[in-house]
Structure formats: structure tokens, C-alpha cells
Amino acid sequence: MLTKVYYSTVAMVAVLGSFFTAVEIARHAAGYPGAVLAVPAVIFAFTVSRRPGGEPVPQKVMAAVALSVLAGASVWLGAQMAGHPVIGGAVFVALMAGSIWTRRYGAAVTRLGALVPLALIAALLSAGTSTGHLVWWPICGWMALVGCSAFVWVRVVRLVAERLTGLAGSPPAPAPAKRAAKRAGLSPRDRMALQMAVALSAAFSLGHLMFGQHWQWCVISAMVVSLGPVGRGDLALKGVERGLGAMAGTLVAALIAAVAEPHGTTSIVLIFVVLAVATTLRTYNYAFYAAGITTALSMFYAYFGQSPQHLLLIRLQALVLGAVLAVIVGWFLVPVRTVDAVRARLGAALAALAALLDARRDGASTAKALAAFDAAATNLNASVRSHRLHRRATRKLGVAHGITPADAGEALLAARGPVHALAASVPDPREDATAETVKLLRRAVSAPANPLPELPEPAATAPLADLDAALRRLAAAIPALARRRPVEPAGGGGALQPPVSAA
């Protein structure tokens, strides 16, 4: 919990710095009202602060330049969507789907592509406010400067925090999964890009037809539901969470507007408080984060003169429609199988665990590898949560279950406690055998249809014994990764059994 508060504090300091810088630029240099540049500055800094750090300096420079260009272009795109909805919507859809499709070109391009959604959110905000009707060139240049300022604030605040505390200013990204062999048909990345394009196209069309000038809420909802989930179960669950969270956020914003002046200083302070709370609670349930972000966006719009109370019903309807569209498209249009999502994220988590064991063997610091393992475990948990809830519900009805792909994820998630205990303990010579087990499991996850070789003998003492036990439960569930139908547990029991030794 303290780590989450620390990261939230670092992020909000950067957001505040970006906000006040943008206000000064707007008032004393550009000649605009402060909110015209300050509101996008908050969005830029807040979103960039969620990006993991640790990339090389050339990539940081490229990201700063890309964010500046995208920030400036967001004003032009907002103006196009306000005045020419067909052209603006087509560009919006192409950029969003393209940012997903280009992930095929490696980690550096993926990092740059991750900046596109925040610029598009700023464009939606611009299209729904008076900013979208300003002459685009002067404000494009100022907005580019604000985007660069937001990036610099985030990096500088992180650097200062690291120097003062000795802790990283942001959690590292999870270790990349081992690249899977090419298969016939569309890859999961291509499927997600196609789903995003279709969902956004439907949201634009129905949003304009049903909600008129308030179409942005339908598009925002479809965008955030489609962006991130991998697999049908994850998509459906996050669609429900984000939909409920967004509706709760709209209600909260209406209540706040009833007691606080939308254009006053109190409203701005509350926006920062809401963003800080949303960031802290994000890891517990995404519904809290969705509620916080929607509350903040509603308050931003209220700052520009849109009444949350008057638009409450329209926004709720648009949010529900956008979420439903995203779930329907993701469920029926070239869906990503849960087994593929679990395999990819299992590979990433095992890679991070292997890096942790290597660091202990070499006598190096394990802090970065441990944080990477936690990040990979969080991603893996997202892919198995829906299965966990489904099993709990059906178990109460007395429905029996075989071994499924999600059980492999659950087995590795059970290793988080032993991994943390191991990281805090003295190196053990038996860790070489555990590292060999992890190596064999990584190969097995890549090719689950192949027979799994005999695993080394498990350790006899904790925490290594607990970790080895969790890994052997993972090994027992790996055959399910290669099958569409559940694997029946040995002997009809519900527990996962370790693989039988070849001897």
C-alpha cells in the first residue's frame, strides 16, 4: 500500500507542475484562458506518469518529441471532429487502431504508440469544448509546448524522487513474453486492432445519431473498454467494471457540481484529489479507476460550461452504449482466446522469475526483477480473474470442473508470496534446480502439446519449497494450454497433481 501511495504522490506532483506551467503559458504567453491549456496538460502528465520508466535516453527523447507532435495534432483533430465528424472520426479510428497494430515492430514502437490514446482523449476533450472551435494553428503550437512540458515534468519529478528516496519513481514494465511461433490467421495484436477499429466506428456512428453533440461519451467508453483487455473473459469483466465505474463517476461529478462552483479553485483542487485517489485504488479494482477518471472528465467539461446535472441521463446512456458495443465486438469479431492470453502472460511472468533467480545467482540487486515479476503477475491476474469468479459462482451450484488454462495462471499467481519471501532470504544452492524448473516450464508454455521433461527434485525447506510446489502445480496444468476442452483432473479430484516422473 505504501508503494502505491508513493507512486501516486510522485505522479500527482508531476501533474501539479504541468498544470501550473500550462496556466502560466496560457495566461502570459498565449493569451488564452488558463483552462484551455491547463486541462490537456493534466491529461498528458497524468497519463505519462502511468508509463513505466527505465527506457534508454534516445527513446526518452523520441517519446518527448512524439508527445509534443501528438499534443499539437490533438487540437487539429478535435477541430476536425467538431466541424467535420466523418473525416475527424476516420482519422481518430485509424490512429487508435494503428497504435495497436504497430506493436509488431518492437518495444520502442509500442512505447511510442502508447502515447496515441492520451492525445486522442485530449482531442475528444477539445471537440467537446470551446477549444475545438478556435483557430487551430496558434493553439496547436502552444499545445505541443504543453505536451513537452508535461513529459519533462514527469521525468524530472521521477528523477528527484529516486535521488531522495532511493526508490524507482515508477514501477518497471513487465518482462516481455517470449515471442511465440507464427500461426495461421490473425495474431492477437491484429485482432485487437480490428476490434478497436470496428468498436470505435460503431461508437462514432451511434453516438452522433443518438446523442448529438454529446457523442464523445459513447466514444470514450468504447475506447477505454476495448483498450487493454485480452481475451473474452477479461473483456466482459472489464466492460462491466468500467461501465459501472464510469456511471458511478458521472453520478459523483453531478453531486460535486451541486455543492462546488464548477469554475472555481475548489473544483480544480477536487479534480487533483479524485485523480490521486483513482491512481491509488487502480490496482484493487479497475472500477474505482474508471469512476475517478470519469468524475475528473465530467468536472473538466463542467469547467467549460457543460452542466453535469443537465447531461446526467445522456452521459449514462452514452457510457452504457459504448461499453456494450466494445464487449459485443470483442466477443464476436475475431475474438482473442483466453488460452492465448494466459500463455502470453505466463511466459512474461516466468521470464521475470527467471531474471530474479539469475540476479540472485550473480549477487546483483533483485529489486527491479521483483518489481517486474509483480507487474507481470498483475497482468496475468487480469486474464484469470473472470475464470476465478465464474468458478466460484458455479461451485456454489455444485458444478464440477476440470483443469482449464486459467488454472495454470492461478498456480503461478500462488507463487507470489514464496517469490517475495525468497527475494528477502539468503541465496540457497538449491535455487539452481528451481531455475532449471523455470527454464523447462518456459519451454513447455511455448509448446504445451509437447511432453514435459522430468522436473528437478523440489527443495525441502521454505520458501524455496513453497515456490517449487507452486511451479509443479503449474506444470500439472500446462497440458490444458494446448486444448480447447477442460482437462479432467487425475482421479476425479479437484487438486492439481504434479507431473508423473518418467522414472
pLDDT digits (tens, 9 = 90+) for 323-375: 899 999 988 988 877 788 888 889 999 999 999 999 998 888 888 888 889 88
Q: For residue 208, is pLDDT > 90?
A: yes
Res 485 pLDDT > 50:
no
- Residues 22, 41 contacting (CB under 8 angstroms): yes
Q: What is the pLDDT of residue 284?
A: 74
Residue with the three cell numbers 491549456: 37
CA distance 277 to 279: 5
Q: How many CB atoms neighbour CB 1 within 10 A?
A: 8
Kindly report the average pLDDT of the chain as a whole number. Answer: 81
CA distances from 444 to 57, 128, 131, 405 (A): 36, 51, 54, 13
| Domain residue ranges in the chain | 1-176, 187-336, 338-492
| Model confidence band, residue 465 (pLDDT cutoffs 50, 70, 90) | very high
The pLDDT of residue 435? 92
Give residue 128's pLDDT: 64
267, 299 in Cβ contact below 8 A?
yes
Distance CA 247, CA 236 (A): 16
66-70, 189-193, 488-492: range with lowest mean pLDDT: 488-492
Cα(447)–Cα(113) distance, integer angstroms: 30
Q: How confident is the model at residue 129 (pLDDT cuts 50, 70, 90)?
A: low
pTM of the model: 0.78
pLDDT of 496 above 50:
no
Quick one: pLDDT band at residue 204, thresholds 50, 70, 90? very high
CB 481 within 8 A of CB 448: yes
Q: What is the pLDDT of residues 275-320, one digit of tens each?
A: 878 877 777 777 888 888 888 877 877 776 666 666 778 888 898 8
